[in-house]
Amino acid sequence: MPSKRIVIIGAGPTGLGAAYRLKELGYENWVIYEKEDYIGGLSSSFKDEKGFTWDIGGHVMFSNNEYFNNLIDHLIGTDFISHGRESWIRMNGRWIPYPFQNNIRYLPKDLTRQCLEGLISAQNDKRQISNFEDWIYKTFGEGIAKLFMIPYNMKVWKIPLSQMSYNWIAERISIVRIERIMKNITEELDDIDWGPNNRFKFPLHGGTGGFFNKFSPFVSGRIDYKKRLINIDIDSKLVIFSDGKSDRYDVLINTSPLDLFIRMVKSKKIDTAYLMEKAYHLKHSGVYVVGIGLKKKTEGTKCWVYFPEESIPFYRMTYFSRYSPNNVPDGAINTYSSLMCEISFTEDKPTSENEFVSLTVNGLVNAGILSEADRENIVSKWLKKVDYAYPIPTLGRDNSLREIQLFLEDNQIYSRGRFGAWKYEIGNMDHSVMMGVEVVNKILCSEKENVWR
């Protein structure tokens, strides 16, 4: 029997994970198509003309997956820096250590009291939780909800939180017991260690993309760049590209956004119209990433900062030069520094692109991150629009995904990755690489997938 031809769409972390595993297994009959002329997808990095390196938003590498951690060791060895996370919330003109809910003692006294009263009332809140907003109120009470959780999450997701589910939260939000919060207040404790990313790695060279560039040898000779998939003929098992070329597959691994992919599926035998209706429930947000390069050393040890207040345009800012000296020109960390800001948008509520950079600079000054005088020290401004940044866990998502994935699998198509699987809770780099690895194990070795179920 001739071997199955495996075609992979997209050379982001998921596609690269799949390619790496195919190579590791010694499998020969596969190819990968990528619409850009580089690998890495959302985890790639860019050097601007002034010599600053930028990621597509603040990326940090952390994982408890053994295969992924071994892969990092194997591909970058010691070419990384290990950091202890130091993240903060900036609001009310104050610095509050992250997670907010653990450190409310840093608020003005009347607000700390509001948060505590809310937490106490929430103990007796008998409401049935049916969405993310309910979950926030029931878990944290009115004070924490209104001061931080609701405004911050609205800024990130850009849709009413009552339209979001709450079953994705596990490793994403710190849930603390009221006793611990009281202890933090009365004993004046900083409670900052929560979360799987409290230590993280960052490549010494080339930004986050520096790690994914190490996959190049594993796709060499098998990757076709500048190939944008536009149609899938599931009757003849053909993928068709924007340059008019096509290729045949036995098994297709898709890592491109699932809503767009579904619109490309064509069949004369099967009615696929209902899939479009299902795909309607898949909502996403986009992000503008604004990089500000400074001719100025930045002091301190902070990694990133969250901004819940509406008056500041970005929801998060990363002290990016702190991750690696090579993120600034010539590694001259005593002369240069860089800040990277993220601003969310949705297609329903697009934000005008024109004034983004100046809004960001003003936001940095208003938030006290830069001084007025620092405007003179700005030597580089970098802007990237990312149309697909966050797959939103909406209420209708899981039912839609179930039907779409069943249909695809019946047609030997496996859709995996941040936007291929459309699951934020498994949307990190380690999850993505492992979804690629595990789907190959499933296709070739009939093994069960763990990350994607």
Ligand X SMILES: Cc1cc2nc3c(=O)[nH]c(=O)nc-3n(C[C@H](O)[C@H](O)[C@H](O)COP(=O)(O)OP(=O)(O)OC[C@H]3O[C@@H](n4cnc5c(N)ncnc54)[C@H](O)[C@@H]3O)c2cc1C
What amino acid is encoded at 118 in this protein?
A: G
Q: Among candidates 24, 20, 66, which has minimal Cα distance to 39?
A: 20
- The CB-of-240 to ligand X minimum distance in angstroms stands at 11
| Inter-residue contact 305 to 90 (CB < 8 Å) | yes
- The CB-of-346 to ligand X minimum distance in angstroms stands at 14
The arrangement of strands across the sheet holding 304-306 comes to: 94-97, 87-91, 304-306, 316-319, 337-345, 283-294, 378-392
- Toward ligand X, which CB reaches closer, 296 or 418? 418
Q: Among candidates 452, 430, 426, which has minimal Cα distance to 439?
A: 452
- Toward ligand X, which CB reaches closer, 83 or 296? 83
Using CA atoms, how far residue 396 sits from 92, 212, 245, 279, 429, in Å, is: 36, 33, 36, 10, 25
What amino acid is encoded at 391 in this protein?
A: P
Residues that bind ligand X (CB under 6 A): 9-15, 33-36, 41-43, 56-60, 227-229, 255-256, 287, 342, 386, 389, 417-420, 427-430, 432
- The CB-of-83 to ligand X minimum distance in angstroms stands at 12
Which residue has the CB atom at the shortest distance from ligand X? 12
- Toward ligand X, which CB reaches closer, 393 or 417? 417
CB atoms within 10 A of CB 131: 16
Determine the Cα–Cα distance for residues 59 and 62; give it in Å rounded to an integer: 10
| Inter-residue contact 327 to 291 (CB < 8 Å) | no
Give the largest CA-CA distance in the chain.
74
- The CB-of-289 to ligand X minimum distance in angstroms stands at 7
DSSP 360: H
- Toward ligand X, which CB reaches closer, 57 or 363? 57
* Coil, strand or helix at 212: helix
- The CB-of-418 to ligand X minimum distance in angstroms stands at 4
- Toward ligand X, which CB reaches closer, 39 or 119? 39
- Toward ligand X, which CB reaches closer, 256 or 326? 256
Determine the Cα–Cα distance for residues 215 and 145; give it in Å rounded to an integer: 43
- Toward ligand X, which CB reaches closer, 57 or 329? 57
Q: Which helix (H) or strand (E) holds 404?
A: helix 397-410
- Toward ligand X, which CB reaches closer, 298 or 432? 432
CB under 8 A, 24+ apart: contacts of 321-325 = 322/83, 322/298, 323/60, 323/81, 323/83, 323/202, 324/81, 324/202, 324/203, 324/204, 324/205, 324/207
- The CB-of-14 to ligand X minimum distance in angstroms stands at 3
What six digits make up the tokens of 51? 């010599």
- Toward ligand X, which CB reaches closer, 92 or 411? 411
- Toward ligand X, which CB reaches closer, 229 or 294? 229
- The CB-of-431 to ligand X minimum distance in angstroms stands at 6
CB atoms within 10 A of CB 340: 29
- The CB-of-419 to ligand X minimum distance in angstroms stands at 6
| Inter-residue contact 43 to 209 (CB < 8 Å) | yes
- The CB-of-371 to ligand X minimum distance in angstroms stands at 27
Determine the Cα–Cα distance for residues 396 and 280; give it in Å rounded to an integer: 9
CA 111 to centroid of chain Cα atoms: 31
- The CB-of-229 to ligand X minimum distance in angstroms stands at 4
- The CB-of-375 to ligand X minimum distance in angstroms stands at 26
- Toward ligand X, which CB reaches closer, 389 or 392? 389
